[in-house]
Structure 1
């Protein structure tokens, strides 16, 4: 739990463990942002990879969620989270250091790029599941919206800075050399994790088979209507949105014929919007209700991705900059509300498995989307592939607006409802909007 009483003090001032988690998360996001720009540019420019390879590379970071997420979730629930996070960061520093080394010594290749992305993505699964479990234990339930908003907003700001800087650095120093910034960011994150002093809640040693515990995580993820609605909304958004996102490098560099600097600006705009969304999530939820905020957040998000279809050289890129900003803010509102609800209702000993099961489905879609984007780019073209992604992403807000949570004003009120009412998705005690 949080250390310090609270009173009127800001969460960052009264809770040193939350500060450490915020620094760790923000530094890690900064490093990931640099890699998100640098890795596809390494493939497209330094290695002259095919359209399919450039688009599919983005999915290698998320493929571990699809194939290993459930197993890793069980391990995270059985182990202290702090050592897990530190080990994951060390693995990422070592593995990602191979890419600039390979560039300098001449052994950089597309297979090495894909393998590195997969191993680094596997380490990221361990880190993110352990990090989410520690956030739940470092703050009180009433601080979850504020805490997740600060983490999301700070991370999105770091993401914007990292992507913008990477777009510029790749033109100055080369994409492979730009990855040195990522290594430095992970070292900062490692130091921050070392400073954590949380009394962890770890599940007692289990004699159950690991497959049984994996099944428990999946069963819990699908156990109630609210959890199912959050999951399907995220999965559909990730499938459609990441088809468009995976084609962004090809769209800017090969279809529109613009530079890496504009690519960095588009990605930075999305992240800056995410920062605004994270910072304002608490006030938006208080003003409109977390239910309406969650339900409507993806509508402008879809329009933001659709703006990519209007891109043209020069000032025509500004359509995408504005659209990506709107998309980033929308996604942040959705993530903060959804993550806070899961952390509020989930027992600490189940948090790793819940995170793994939900992300295996929702983030597994990111891997499938990247592979689909590569196929679409080769078969129907880059712009048509982006349009396909936008059409699929439209189903995400439909799930939210027409699903079982369509009348709920405050999602947090569902946390205290009986399980039988949660399964219906309409607990009698919860305030509602007009249906």
Structure 2
């Protein structure tokens, strides 16, 4: 495993791509906590307002996500990544400055994060689709493992840094740190050298029609024997997970009475175990098969969040949230590199942008519905009830995937069950 990761690290373009990703993710996890604490402590927002702002961030995926996939498949992806990073840097700097000067309101924040979410939507579709161009197919699982480990590491460090910045300085300063991270990411991506050719037309002009391409991408995902049930399960997972994560910080700060640094520690736990899981994922995939590993790890999400319900205010209030996020992060780390590699390997390059955008648009778009719904449920019946509803939803998602053909899939080099040859 170490040799495999060392192999991808010898690709200069991948190393720069990886560094940009790490810097951007670190800033994102800083501001993820900072924005919630800014709403709770500075703007005195309740769970409903938290849900509305979070919905605004992910609403672009629901509205324009499929179109983003078509755009990504029509243009070079690296320039799109650079432009999206630059837009996010400018808008988050605006959020921080408005908050520092006392001019930020919940509606203004919702509008700004909507535009940030729109830029991030294009970035995400292009980011996932560019990686197979940077590294060879044989190194894709290892490259995804390295990115997943780094993501998990920043998931640990980011909330700690964010909590410390909020406690020592302020939430607006923490948001400004994220703005700087996006700017650095754009500069590093500008130095990535990759042989990325402009996508060619399919041979007939009508094949480049927007709706034709949208339908082609959706058909590829939902009519595919294994990608179809995987996508449906993932949509359910994101919806249920959003219900929990929308109220988690409010639950920790108001009911469990944890301070900003303690909340940062709780969120960081997922990253620590995620690094471990991502490092083990390729080896476990070879040993047991991609499908078996992923479907087994799906059960860790509802089990982990169920532990949150055991927490009580007091000197040990942080224990169960720490355990819950640690278990949750382990599951994500173990399945993340495998599922990203699988779905990109089985999809032709000309469809990767639309495939990733189709899946992600409904994944992240569902948050636009789940976040305000979870906030409303928490405000009406309490945070614990909302968390319990999320746990039930995650269990349903696990059942859907477990009962599908996805459980038996493998890729080349793994022990055979239902072997899927990577698309050429």
Q: TM-score, normalised by structure 1?
A: 0.90
SS in 2 for 1:257: coil
Q: Is 1:200 matched up with 2:196? A: yes
Q: For 1:164 and 1:14, locate their aligned partners in 2 and report how far apart those are by CA, in whole Å.
A: 31
Q: For 1:26 and 1:185, locate their aligned partners in 2 and report how far apart those are by CA, in whole Å.
A: 9
Which residue in 2 is equivalent to 1:111? Answer: 107
Q: CA deviation at 1:333?
A: 2.2
- Flag the 1:214–1:414 CA change in 2: closer, same or farther, 3 A: farther
Which residue in 2 is equivalent to 1:77? Answer: 73
- Flag the 1:404–1:50 CA change in 2: closer, same or farther, 3 A: same
Q: CA deviation at 1:123?
A: 0.7
Number of aligned residue pairs: give it: 413
Which residue in 2 is equivalent to 1:411? Answer: 410
Q: CA deviation at 1:230?
A: 1.6
SS in 1 for 2:82: helix
Structure 2 counterparts to residues 371-386 of structure 1, below 5 A: 371-386=372-387
Q: For 1:195 and 1:279, locate their aligned partners in 2 and report how far apart those are by CA, in whole Å.
A: 27
Deviation digits for residues 164-199 of structure 1, max 9, x if unmatched? Answer: 110121111111111121122112211220111111
Which residue in 2 is equivalent to 1:421? Answer: none
Q: Which runs of 4+ in 1 moved over 3 A?
A: none
Q: CA deviation at 1:253?
A: 1.3
Structure 2 counterparts to residues 93-108 of structure 1, below 5 A: 93-108=89-104
Q: Is 1:290 matched up with 2:286? A: no
SS in 1 for 2:194: coil
SS in 1 for 2:192: coil
Q: CA deviation at 1:201?
A: 4.2
Structure 2 counterparts to residues 132-211 of structure 1, below 5 A: 132-205=128-201, 207=205, 208-211=208-211
Q: For 1:8 and 1:39, locate their aligned partners in 2 and report how far apart those are by CA, in whole Å.
A: 38
Which residue in 1 is equivalent to 2:251? Answer: 251
- Flag the 1:181–1:225 CA change in 2: closer, same or farther, 3 A: same
Deviation digits for residues 53-107 of structure 1, max 9, x if unmatched? Answer: 1133223222211111111111111111111011001100111111121123221
Instruction: Tell me if the contact between 2:53 and 2:106 (Cα under 8 Å) persists in the aligned partners.
Output: no
Q: CA deviation at 1:430?
A: 7.2
SS in 2 for 1:122: helix
Instruction: Tell me if the contact between 1:33 and 1:159 (Cα under 8 Å) persists in the aligned partners.
Output: yes
Q: Is 1:228 matched up with 2:228? A: yes
Which residue in 1 is equivalent to 2:352? Answer: 351
15-24 or 395-404, which deviates more: 395-404
Instruction: Tell me if the contact between 1:294 and 1:400 (Cα under 8 Å) persists in the aligned partners.
Output: no
Instruction: Tell me if the contact between 1:11 and 1:147 (Cα under 8 Å) persists in the aligned partners.
Output: no
Q: CA deviation at 1:8?
A: 7.5
Unaligned runs of 5+ residues in structure 2 are none
